[in-house]
Amino acid sequence: MKDLFNIFFKHYWILFFLFFLWFLHLINYHYSLNLYELGIFPRTFEGLFGIFFAPLIHSVKDHNHIINNSIPFLILSWALFYFYHPIAWRVLFFSWILTGLLVWIFARNSFHIGISGVIYSLLFFLFFSGVFRKDSRLLTVALLVVFIYGSMFWGIFPYDWKISYESHMAGALVGILLSIFFKNQKATFIKVKTQWEKEEELGIDTDDLNGAWKETNDYD
């Protein structure tokens, strides 16, 4: 029972965070608060505040915006904290801030809102981190992520001008960079080294061991 809790419910803050997103969205919708103005407006001083607030705000004109972001954030953030717990908070923090900063620098002159940029950063981090670390378990996670959300790759291209593809592209870039930067940092599971890797670290030549074994047998 404890193992089940650690797997599925240990990171319950993710659910509370999603509840907060929905609560904020419904308040914004009901009272017409125009919270989109807290989004990122590139290359303006006021738009800098959007780096912190934009992921919390979603379109009230299309509820699919927050609906389509909720499940991917739930799954990808859970995967991040379960498989990369020692570095998870740092990855999430930099995904949030750096993605927003890139959007502020390079994106179109419009308000950019939503947590999809962070989602793309987590998606690309989980995939490339599994590839770069060369750990079979983490590579399995990477392949599973691609199997479920591989179609999101097309979101980095401008196929719909109502969608902030710049956020998706920035998030993807940040995720790749973070997977490189943290590739030598600990993951949740310790990689099990093979006998060959252990011998290589100790500077033992396998051929020498075979030669010593033969000499011993000849002596006997």
pLDDT of residue 12: 86
Task: Record the tokens describing residue 151, joined without a space.
Answer: 């179609």
Domain check: are 89 and 39 in the same one? yes
Domains of the chain: total: 2
pTM for the complete prediction? Answer: 0.84
Domain check: are 92 and 132 in the same one? yes
pLDDT of residue 134: 83
pLDDT in tens, 63-120: 999 999 999 999 999 999 999 999 999 999 999 999 999 999 999 999 999 999 999 9
pLDDT of residue 13: 92
Domain check: are 197 and 171 in the same one? no
Give the Cα separation of 196 and 140 in Å (integer): 22
Domain check: are 116 and 216 in the same one? no
Domain check: are 137 and 216 in the same one? no
pLDDT of residue 81: 93
Domain check: are 136 and 35 in the same one? yes
- Of residues 100, 151, 144, the one with CA closest to residue 121: 100
Domain check: are 100 and 71 in the same one? yes
Buried-state track 76-85, b at ≥16 Cβ within 10 A, e below 16:
bbbbbbbbbe
Domain check: are 116 and 140 in the same one? yes
Which positions of the chain have pLDDT values less than 50? 1, 4, 212-220
Domain check: are 70 and 162 in the same one? yes
Give the Cα separation of 15 and 119 in Å (integer): 15
pLDDT of residue 83: 92
pLDDT of residue 213: 45
CATH number of the domain encompassing residue 136? 1.20.1540.10
pLDDT of residue 47: 96
pLDDT of residue 137: 86
Domain check: are 179 and 209 in the same one? no
Domain check: are 100 and 176 in the same one? yes
Give the Cα separation of 156 and 181 in Å (integer): 22
Structural domain boundaries enclosing 14: 2-189
Domain check: are 173 and 204 in the same one? no
